[in-house]
Amino acid sequence: MSLQWYQHNQDAVVEALKRGERPDMATTLSSGPLDELIALHDELGAFSALDDLTTSRKRRGIDDSLLLRTVAVLPFLETASLSGAAQQLFGDPAILLRLGWSSVQIRMGDNDRHRRPGGRRLESLPCSAETLRDGLARIERQAWQRVQETGVRALFDHGFVRGRVYAIDGTGLGKDLRLVCLVCVSTKRPVIVAWRLLSGTASEKGQEAAVTRSLIEQAVRLGGTGCIGLLLVDALYADGPLLAWCKYRQQIDVLVPVPSDREIHRDLDGLAQGGLLNFERFSYVRTIQGHKSRRTLDLGAQHGLTSWDSFMKAAREYGAEEPSLWGCLIRPVDPASVEDKPWTLVSTRDWPTGEAGFQSYRPRWHIENDAYRELKEGWRLEEELWGRNEAVQMARVTLTCLAFNTAQIYLSQAGERLAAKGIRRLRRHYCRELGATPVVIYVGTNYAVLAVEELIEILGTPARRTLRPAIAPRPP
């Protein structure tokens, strides 16, 4: 099958319609939220990053970059499964045209694969969902790391990663996968700046918290030295050497909660029992699963702690002469459950009060409530990984995290402006007079872009009124 290209010739199409010629095809070019998200995704370099991917093997048929652009849009759709999202997208020719599909590809498909005696089935137009899955499977797992870094670098370059407070945590994706993310939590809309998908029983802790360190190194490489000022991290993802490395090599302060079996917690508890720790009462309102409740705590802070041996040893190796830690013993007043036990918050920074340290740690909950919860419930990442192939799972995670970031940016004023710029670029051939939903008509070797009212007027049944904006003609 040979591709047929159409040229933009408004007059030729109008005359053909007036003569009663039947168009080859007709579609609309809407500009809804999905169009704007795609435009913003493009402006942030997501598609260009995919265009640079190389496959492990070549296949006959649809160009790989077109397949990858198509599958990159699927996370934005309401349907979570790859096949369901693909069919939803394939039902919108306007979006496919924006992604680069030709009119002939949309109408007839790209090649003779998946053909049956009765002709190509509707669900395989313009291609089968399995073709998309096959395209993902042919990308090496390591290649998605480059896509991740390219996508995140664009966020830093555009100034969309704001603030210097970051958090690291992990979440399970089924029983065999774990996603560990470094998230900027300085604002109410978190942005994921680095992530790793771990398979099997791989432990994130050990070897100086190697996963955590690699995430930090990646963020600093993309955002520049000093982009992280404070790191909020769970004890699972931090050990003493990591805290020393952050403090004395990266100039990053760390806040980490430690369990009751740690020596530093027992030291603070001993000071409290001996009456040597001063407590301040602090009350705040917290929201859990949409329900607000007031919580009251007694906070006992102390600086100059030296009972984290691995931190002390590593800090001296980095040249620190008198390293020490700040700690805060946190005791719930009127605990709500037996699990609401005292715990300790440790930091490489000396906070002026226990309340100051505790309040600085609270943004960590953004990573759970506004990042992981959204990825699982809103983007259904855990529910649908698009297959068992590791490369496909890595692709799904990478494309979803990039789409998540684009959606977060889209909700900001700067993101709205950049999305509008992208839409204008995509619609650079069209005029304001066409309104928001012009119609594209293909006749012979030509195509034209017409307003709906203009089209029905050409066909002989003009509307009595129009909602198109009244724009005075420009003077000659």
Asked if 358 and 282 count as a contact pair (C-beta separation under 8 A), the reply is: yes
What pLDDT, on the 0 to 100 scale, is given for residue 340? 77
Q: What average pLDDT does range 176-200 have in this prediction?
A: 92
Report whether pLDDT(31) > 70.
no
Q: What is the pLDDT of residues 390-438, one digit of tens each?
A: 889 999 999 999 999 999 999 988 888 888 777 666 655 444 445 556 7
Asked if 198 and 260 count as a contact pair (C-beta separation under 8 A), the reply is: no
Which listed CATH number (2.20.70.10, 3.40.120.10, 1.10.10.10, 3.90.350.10) goes with 143-378?
A: 3.90.350.10
CA 93/CA 417 separation, integer angstroms: 25
Q: Residues of the chain with pLDDT > 70: what percent? A: 84
pLDDT band of residue 378 (cuts 50, 70, 90) is very high
Report whether pLDDT(244) > 50.
yes
Q: What average pLDDT does range 7-28 have in this prediction?
A: 85
CA 178/CA 184 separation, integer angstroms: 19
pLDDT band of residue 129 (cuts 50, 70, 90) is confident
Report whether pLDDT(9) > 60.
yes
Angle at CA of residue 39, ends 37 and 43, nearest 5°: 115
What pLDDT, on the 0 to 100 scale, is given for residue 338? 62
Report whether pLDDT(73) > 50.
yes
Asked if 179 and 374 count as a contact pair (C-beta separation under 8 A), the reply is: no
Q: What is the pLDDT of residues 289-307, one digit of tens each?
A: 667 888 899 999 999 999 9
- Domain segments of the chain as ranges: 143-378
At 12 the three-state DSSP class reads: helix
pLDDT band of residue 111 (cuts 50, 70, 90) is low
Q: Which has the higher per-residue pLDDT, 284 or 118?
A: 284
Question: Which candidate, 447, 331, 369, places its Cα nearest to that of 97?
Answer: 447
Q: What average pLDDT does range 38-44 have in this prediction?
A: 91
At 446 the three-state DSSP class reads: strand
Asked if 168 and 236 count as a contact pair (C-beta separation under 8 A), the reply is: no
What pLDDT, on the 0 to 100 scale, is given for residue 298? 94
Among 17-26, 253-262, 433-442, the least confident range: 433-442
Q: Which has the higher per-residue pLDDT, 325 or 53?
A: 325
CA 381/CA 192 separation, integer angstroms: 15
* 3-state DSSP of 365-426: HHHHHHHHHHHHHHCCCCCCCCCCCHHHHHHHHHHHHHHHHHHHHHCCHHHHHHHHHHHHHH
Contacts of 456 (CB under 8 A, 6+ apart): 462, 463
pLDDT band of residue 208 (cuts 50, 70, 90) is very low
Report whether pLDDT(241) > 90.
yes
Query: Which class for 269: exposed (0-12), middle (13-18), buried (19 or more C-beta within 10 A)?
Result: middle
pLDDT band of residue 205 (cuts 50, 70, 90) is very low
What pLDDT, on the 0 to 100 scale, is given for residue 114? 46
Q: Which has the higher per-residue pLDDT, 205 or 130?
A: 130
CA 204/CA 452 separation, integer angstroms: 57
What pLDDT, on the 0 to 100 scale, is given for residue 459? 86
Q: What average pLDDT does range 63-77 have in this prediction?
A: 91
Q: Crossing angle, helix 64-73 and helix 390-410, to 10 degrees?
A: 60
Q: What average pLDDT does range 309-333 have in this prediction?
A: 95
Q: What average pLDDT does range 329-354 have in this prediction?
A: 88
Q: What average pLDDT does range 351-370 have in this prediction?
A: 94
Q: Residues of the chain with pLDDT > 90: what percent? A: 51
Asked if 166 and 182 count as a contact pair (C-beta separation under 8 A), the reply is: yes
Within a 10 A sphere around the Cβ of 113, how many other Cβ atoms?
Answer: 16
What pLDDT, on the 0 to 100 scale, is given for residue 355? 96
What pLDDT, on the 0 to 100 scale, is given for residue 88? 87
Cis peptide bond upstream of 323, omega within 30: no
CA 139/CA 160 separation, integer angstroms: 29
Mean pLDDT of the chain: 85
pLDDT band of residue 117 (cuts 50, 70, 90) is very low
What pLDDT, on the 0 to 100 scale, is given for residue 93? 74
Residue written as tokens 């992604």?
Answer: 99
Report whether pLDDT(42) > 80.
yes
What pLDDT, on the 0 to 100 scale, is given for residue 466? 63
> What's the whole-model pTM score?
0.82
